[in-house]
């Protein structure tokens, strides 16, 4: 592992964006927090302050929700029409792509991810998401049914209508893409929105707000309120004028939102924690599996909900696969994401760094083998070396709890049913993958594993045409596809007596 220090010069656009405190977007205008308070936004690779942004509180939430409610009830977004909404969403995608370098720099600086990962995956996927749902706006359809009740006949049909005001609460690990995953279907469905970016990574969401206005979204349809989860997030979850909450984050926070939303029985969709297993059989293409397993856990510094953080390898191949993943871990170049040599960036904060290292230490104290990594990297920034823990057991905290860092817990297994039992012995069920040359075995395992997204000889693949979400404590509802669009809609049945 190595870290380079020579960094490219920041673009003029990104430098100008960071040069002044960033306000919040409410009712189509950029305004300061009601209190006038701001909060610092940091670069996790250097621990330097990037800029300050408005620090929202309950008063700001009330203002934003009022604007969203007025825009919805007044038909501001509805009057644009389905085709018009589709054109605007497509325009947002175009603007993301035409500003992709600036957005990628801001994402890289604020989140720590390598610039090329931001540009060619995370930001590019945000544009793709808006394009996909742009094509859905004029394809929202009900159904009809010819029915009889006693002697009367009815023409009966269903209508799909937007749920209303949607509160969208997004995490820090993929800030712009996560915002797109919620904004695009909500806007396609006809909802108005209040977006709360993570307090750690609000920059690309605020820049997206500028592009949304430039694309022609009317004022009040999209509002953006940065701030802490304890204030802004909970105020949105509790608010009686909010009809829907879509949240991505930890299971513990998801429970708090569930209780807070009970007051007016809001619709909820929750994408929560994960502890996703990767299962490698002896007959797999082991080099392909090793590469896939390493990518599944070390991409984005392991800060991915679907990260393949538990590895189960059939006994004959266990040593080879674990050694192969460890060898790839040791070759990864850690450093500032703005450096083109960097392959893995920092964790998001000192708190997250401490959390990850504490869980590694707990695994070692409970008898796990340290194959590689397991320590802080460098003396500046929130880096943790990519880590492999071997010979782990299901009772260990490091195996049971979501680490959300570059830490892989590995264990051998004998028979397929042993792998299924171990993989399913988790309170989470977000993703899983199976590596085998036997296609029948792959499909059989896919049926038996309790997870929302399954990969056969792959991990973490998604497409906007297919639903994404989890079983058990990994959440409620789905994002993407028709299922994701329906999360922002209500179904109404109409009976007309003939």
Cα 462-464-469 angle, rounded to 5 deg: 60
Reduced 3-state DSSP string for the chain: CCCCCCCCCCCHHHHHHHCCCECEEECCEEECCCCCCEEEEECCCCCCEEEEEECCCHHHHHHHHHHHHHHHHCCCCHHHCHHHHHHHHHHHHHHHHHCHHHHHHHHHHHHCCCHHHHHHHHHHHHHHHHHHHHCCCCCCCCCEEEEEECCEEEEEEEEEEECCEEEEECCCCCHHHHHHHHHHHHHHHCCEEEEECCCCCCHHHHHHHHHHHHHCCCCCCEEECCCCHHHHHHHHHHCCCCCEEEEECCHHHHHHHHHHHHHHCCEEEEECCCCCEEEECCCCCHHHHHHHHHHHHHHHHHCCCCCCCEEEEEHHHHHHHHHHHHHHHHHCCECCCCCCCCCECCCCCHHHHHHHHHHHHHHHHCCCEEEECCCECCCCCCCECCEEEECCCCCCHHHHCCCCCCEEEEEEECCHHHHHHHHHCCCEECEEEEECCCHHHHHHHHHHCCCCEEEECCCCCCCCCCCECCEECCEECCECHHHHHHCCEEEEEEEEEC
Token pair 């960094």 is at which residue? 7
Establish whether 271 is a catalytic residue.
yes
Establish whether 129 is a catalytic residue.
no
User: Please, how many CA atoms are within 13 Å of residue 465, restricted to the half-sphere of its CB?
Assistant: 1
Instruction: Single out the catalytic residue among 305, 402, 479, 487.
Output: 305
**Cα–Cα distance, 196 to 57 (Å, whole number):** 11
Instruction: Single out the catalytic residue among 107, 200, 271, 487.
Output: 271
Under a CB-based contact definition with an 8 Å cutoff, are residues 258 and 292 in contact?
no
Q: Are strands 29-31 and 24-26 parallel, antiparallel or unpaired?
A: antiparallel
Residues assigned a catalytic role: 271, 305
């Amino acid at each position: 592992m190595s870290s380079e220090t020579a960094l490219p010069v920041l673009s003029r656009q990104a430098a100008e964006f960071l040069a002044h405190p960033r306000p919040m977007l409410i009712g189509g205008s950029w305004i300061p927090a009601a209190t006038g308070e701001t909060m610092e936004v940091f670069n996790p690779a250097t621990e330097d302050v990037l800029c300050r942004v408005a620090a929202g509180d309950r008063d700001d939430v009330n203002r934003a929700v009022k604007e969203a409610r007025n825009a919805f009830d007044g038909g501001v977004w509805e009057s644009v029409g389905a085709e018009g909404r589709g054109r605007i969403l497509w325009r947002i995608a175009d603007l993301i792509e035409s500003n992709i370098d600036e957005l990628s720099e801001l994402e890289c600086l604020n989140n720590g991810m390598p610039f090329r990962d931001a540009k060619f995956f995370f930001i590019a996927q945000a544009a793709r998401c808006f394009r996909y749902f742009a094509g859905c706006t004029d394809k929202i359809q009900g159904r009809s049914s010819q029915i009889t009740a006693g002697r009367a006949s009815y023409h009966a049909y269903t209508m799909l209508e937007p749920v209303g005001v949607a509160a969208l609460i997004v995490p820090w690990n993929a800030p712009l893409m996560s915002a797109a995953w919620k904004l695009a279907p909500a806007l396609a469905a006809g909802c108005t929105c209040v977006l709360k970016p993570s307090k750690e990574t609000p920059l690309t969401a605020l820049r997206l707000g500028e592009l949304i206005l430039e694309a022609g979204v009317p004022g009040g349809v999209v509002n953006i309120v940065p701030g802490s989860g304890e204030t802004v997030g909970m105020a949105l979850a509790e608010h009686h004028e909010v009809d829907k909450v879509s949240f991505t984050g930890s299971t513990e926070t998801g429970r708090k939102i569930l209780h807070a939303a009970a007051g007016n029985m809001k619709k909820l969709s929750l994408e929560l924690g994960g502890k996703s297993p990767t299962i490698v059989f002896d007959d797999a293409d082991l080099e392909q599996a090793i590469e896939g397993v390493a990518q599944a856990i070390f991409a984005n510094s392991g800060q991915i909900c679907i990260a393949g953080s538990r590895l189960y390898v059939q006994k004959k191949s266990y040593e080879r696969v674990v050694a192969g993943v460890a060898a790839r871990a040791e070759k990864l170049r850690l450093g500032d994401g703005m450096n083109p040599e960097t392959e893995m960036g920092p964790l998001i904060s000192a708190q997250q760094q401490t959390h990850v290292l504490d869980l590694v230490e707990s695994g070692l104290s409970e008898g796990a083998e340290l194959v590689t990594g397991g320590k802080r990297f460098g003396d500046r920034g929130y880096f943790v070396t990519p880590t492999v823990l071997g010979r782990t057991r299901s009772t260990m905290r490091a195996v049971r709890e979501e680490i959300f860092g570059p830490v892989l817990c590995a264990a051998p297994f004998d028979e397929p049913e042993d792998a299924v039992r171990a993989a399913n012995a988790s309170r989470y069920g977000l993703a899983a993958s199976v590596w085998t040359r036997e296609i029948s075995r792959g499909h059989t395992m896919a049926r038996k594993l309790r997870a929302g997204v399954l990969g056969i000889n792959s991990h973490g693949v998604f497409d906007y045409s297919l639903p994404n979400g989890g079983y058990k404590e990994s959440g409620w509802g789905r994002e993407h596809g028709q299922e994701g669009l329906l999360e922002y809609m209500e179904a109404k049945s109409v009976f007309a007596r003939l």
